[in-house]
Amino acid sequence: MPSKVVICGAGFIGLRIAHAISQANSFVKPLRHIQISSRSPEKLDTSLHRDLPSAHVLPLVPLDITKPEMLDPAFHGANVVVSLVGVLTGSPKTFEEIQWQGAENVARAARRAGAKLVHMSALGANKDSKIPYERTKALGEDAAFRHCPDATVIRPSLVFGPGDGFFGRFAQLSKFLPFLPVFGDGSTRFQPVFVDDLARLVELVSRDDAEIRRELSGRIVYAGGPDIFTFRDIMKMVLKYTGRTRPIIHVPWAIGNVQGAMLEKLPPSVLTLTRDQVKQLKHDNTVPSPLPPGELSLADLLRKHFQDKPTSAHRILPKYLA
Ligand SMILES: NC(=O)c1ccc[n+]([C@@H]2O[C@H](COP(=O)([O-])OP(=O)(O)OC[C@H]3O[C@@H](n4cnc5c(N)ncnc54)[C@H](OP(=O)(O)O)[C@@H]3O)[C@@H](O)[C@H]2O)c1
């Protein structure tokens, strides 16, 4: 009897997870049906979605996680719910409605459905933060564990891969800006993780395998790549792999803040920047070392279950930035 994985939030990471599960279906039993849910299924007519084998994919379900009445029908019969919904911009209320209360709605409905919850959070999640993104990510994690104590929470650093919103965005900016900006002295550190490594992790957590479920139950998995880069290193990589030559200009934090104040008022675009994003860029975004007691890392799980290691950005960026 096939099991059913609901992918809640079919954006950049969600569709790669659907592919990882579908590819693993040839060697992981029982077969897992993939149910993709989206606020706007009509927008999902992408090649990534079309390329999924139809035998593995159930019809799309419309779902807004801020509307609890939509969740039970969407999760009916689910063995696993992957909670991926997140936002990068919006008012503090929007962050609360989506990343906190929305995540809580998902966790409650996953429990009612009797499904294992996999919840995508982020490095930097912090209940004491004044930045709504970071605070609501932490409150979303709490809600996930409160309603589903056996949930697995994943905290990735920046995620890279075709279609990503960071490397891809600066590559686009480098097309028309005469320079690339870094805020402050550009020394903030990141540990970018490849989207397909993250997708393999979620595929693993989604398996109907009692031992894996036990290992990952109630745990936070920190997901970073093999290399730590500064903001300035990242801009250099973007220029190297797009083949462009541009000066890298240091923008003082105060000027970044003024830019954020202006740009956050404009409709979303490649130039979108908010004051909170500028503040976030002040903090390192790397996997803690040592890990908090009892928590896990993507690197350890890839080694143990796939005899592999996280993929370097240097291997992948040239394939899609060039
Ligand atoms: N990408 C990264 O570098 C990164 C790093 C750390 C953590 N994360 C976390 O990973 C998760 C997935 O990220 P992503 O990069 O794949 O983001 P994404 O491409 O923006 O996908 C997020 C999805 O959430 C959906 N969504 C937004 N509000 C919703 C609502 N009220 N109800 C239902 N769906 C809603 C969006 O659907 P619509 O198309 O309907 O708007 C979108 O498909 C997020 O939680 C994010 O915070 C990402």
- Residue pair 25/230 in contact by the 8 Å Cβ criterion: no
Q: Which of 193, 217, 205, 175 is nearest to 12 (CA)?
A: 193
| Ligand 1 neighbourhood includes 10 CB (under 6 angstroms) | yes
DSSP type of residue 57: B
Coil/strand/helix, residue 281:
coil
- Residue pair 281/183 in contact by the 8 Å Cβ criterion: yes
* Cα–Cα distances in angstroms (integers) from residue 248 to residues 119, 225, 229, 242, 276, in the given order: 36, 24, 15, 14, 22
Structural domain includes residue 32: yes
Structural domain includes residue 13: yes
Question: 228: left (phi > 0), else alpha (psi -120 to 50), else beta?
Answer: beta
According to the model, what pLDDT value does residue 40 have?
86
Pocket test for ligand 1, best of 17, 39, 276 (most atoms within 8 A of CB): 39
Give the Å distance between the CA of 245 and the centre of ligand 1: 32
- Burial degree of 73 (CB within 10 A; 0-12, 13-18, 19+): exposed
Structural domain includes residue 155: yes
Structural domain includes residue 300: yes
- Other beta carbons within 10 Å of 176: 7
User: Tens-digit pLDDT profile for the chain (322 aa)?
Assistant: 789 999 999 899 999 999 999 999 999 989 999 999 999 887 776 777 778 887 888 888 999 999 999 999 999 999 999 999 999 999 999 999 999 999 999 999 999 999 999 999 999 999 999 999 999 999 999 999 999 999 999 999 999 999 999 999 999 999 999 999 999 999 999 999 999 999 999 999 999 999 999 999 999 999 999 999 999 999 999 999 999 999 999 999 999 888 888 888 888 888 888 898 989 999 999 999 999 999 999 999 999 999 999 999 999 999 999 8
According to the model, what pLDDT value does residue 50 have?
76
| Tally of structural domains, the chain | 1
pLDDT in tens, 134-154: 999 999 999 999 999 999 999
Give the Å distance between the CA of 246 and the centre of ligand 1: 31
According to the model, what pLDDT value does residue 45 have?
64
Which residues fall within 8 angstroms of residue 206, CB to CB, at 6 or more apart? 5, 21, 32, 80, 82, 116, 118
Backbone Cα Rg of the chain: 19
Residue 295: give the domain boundaries: 3-159+194-224+287-311
Q: The tokens 């390192």 sit on which residue?
A: 284
Structural domain includes residue 240: no
| Ligand 1 neighbourhood includes 38 CB (under 6 angstroms) | yes
Q: Please tell me the residue having the least CA distance from ligand 1 atom 1.
A: 159
Structural domain includes residue 51: yes
Q: Give the span between the Cα atoms of 249 and 7, in whole angstroms.
A: 40
pTM of the model: 0.96
pLDDT in tens, 88-131: 999 999 999 999 999 999 999 999 999 999 999 999 999 999 99
Give the Å distance between the CA of 159 and the centre of ligand 1: 12
Structural domain includes residue 147: yes
Give the Å distance between the CA of 102 and the centre of ligand 1: 12
Q: For residue 132, what is the domain's CATH number?
A: 3.40.50.720
According to the model, what pLDDT value does residue 53 have?
82
Structural domain includes residue 234: no
